[in-house]
Amino acid sequence: MANIMRVDTMLKTLGEPRRCEIIRLVWSKELPATEIASHFPDVTRSAISQHLGVLRRTGLVNERRDGTRRLYSVNQSEIAKLRAFIDSFWTNNLEKLRDLAESHEQLKGHE
């Protein structure tokens, strides 16, 4: 149950388009908050800082301090958990489709 609640929180966090964009930005490289904010000229740095805080608290990004800078990177293990959860829907539906097709074939064989 706790895992489902955790995934639910992650999905709600990613429901905000700017947070998804931040995840994309830090997907393959660690970036300082100032560089992340520079990708959002229409948003205040304070608002980006708040988004980063939400992503950090949710566990979707890691924060590392380097002197006075805060560097952010994606938390690959949390993203992997989210992906596994989403993939389970796909796998379960494929299994149901396979079972349905097999049942249909068995019924056809008895006609």
Query: What CATH number should be reported for the domain holding residue 34?
Result: 1.10.10.10
Full 3-state SS string of 63-100: EEEECCEEEEEECHHHHHHHHHHHHHHHHHHHHHHHHH
Which pLDDT value is given to residue 93? Answer: 66
Split the chain (111 residues) into runs of 10 and give each run's mean pLDDT.
Answer: 76 94 97 97 96 96 95 95 82 70 70 61
pLDDT in tens, 43-62: 999 999 999 999 999 999 99
Place of tokens 């539906």: 93
Which pLDDT value is given to residue 110? Answer: 61
Rounded distance between C-alpha atoms, residue 22 and residue 2, angstroms: 26
Which pLDDT value is given to residue 94? Answer: 67
One-letter identity of residue 78: E
Domain count of the fold of the chain: 1
CA atoms within 13 A on the CB side of 71: 10
Q: Which residues contact 88 (CB under 8 A, 6 or more apart)?
A: none
Domain that holds residue 60: 2-109
Rounded distance between C-alpha atoms, residue 32 and residue 86, angstroms: 30
